[in-house]
Amino acid sequence: MSSTQGMTVEGGQDNGHHGRLWRWFVPRPLPKPINPALLKHQEARARDVQNRVADRITAFSGSMTFVYIHILWFGLWIALGVEKYPFGLLTMIVSLEAIFLSTFVMISQNRADAKRQVIADDQYKTVQLEDHQNQELLALSKQILALTKEVRSYADVVQREDEQNRELLGLSKQMLQLTHEVRSHLSADGSAETK
């Protein structure tokens, strides 16, 4: 921001007493939204001149600066005796101002409704995306479960075949031992006969 009587305000920071007074009277802008959907909505609104004017007026009329100006204005109007009591002109001006301000309140409410709608739409899209991702995860989990069952059944088959192979190996060893015994028995019988 530029300076007033030697005072500089840069990035919301002020220098000295004048800076604090300036910040006290000038309405502070609202912080920028961090939601990407709201940022996009704000950029779209800023493209229209009427929206920018309405936003500035509602921001100003909803500030303490607006209240201070009216206190000063009413105080001076009465103190300087611009008109006599019951202040008909002042009443008419204030009534007209109230009509316009109520319109700006409605504009502000519509703006807030539009923001809520943007947030709701964004959340709905997020929920739909998460639901789609959850469906994909569920499908993947089912595939993993099916593969796990196949691996387990294959492992069971391998275990059964391993047990059968061990049995066959045991039987083969027994047969080999019996064959050796029969052969050694036959050799012992053959050598006994030759004697």
Residue-level pLDDT at 70: 92
Query: What backbone phi and psi angles, to 5 degrees, belong to 9?
Result: -125, 115
Alpha helices in 2-87, H assignment, sequence order = 16-25, 36-46, 49-61, 64-79
Task: Using a cut of 0.75, tell me whether the model's pTM lies above it.
Answer: no
CA 185 to chain centre: 87
Residue-level pLDDT at 18: 62
Per-residue model confidence as pLDDT tens for the chain (195 residues):
444 444 444 444 445 566 666 666 666 666 777 777 777 877 777 788 887 888 888 888 888 889 999 999 999 999 999 899 889 999 999 999 999 989 888 887 888 888 888 888 888 888 888 988 999 999 999 999 999 998 888 888 888 888 888 988 898 899 989 888 888 888 777 666 666
Residue-level pLDDT at 17: 62
* Residue of 163, 168, 169 whose CA lies nearest to 155: 163
Query: What backbone phi and psi angles, to 5 degrees, belong to 6?
Result: 85, -5
Residue-level pLDDT at 3: 41
10 Å Cβ neighbour count for 74? 13
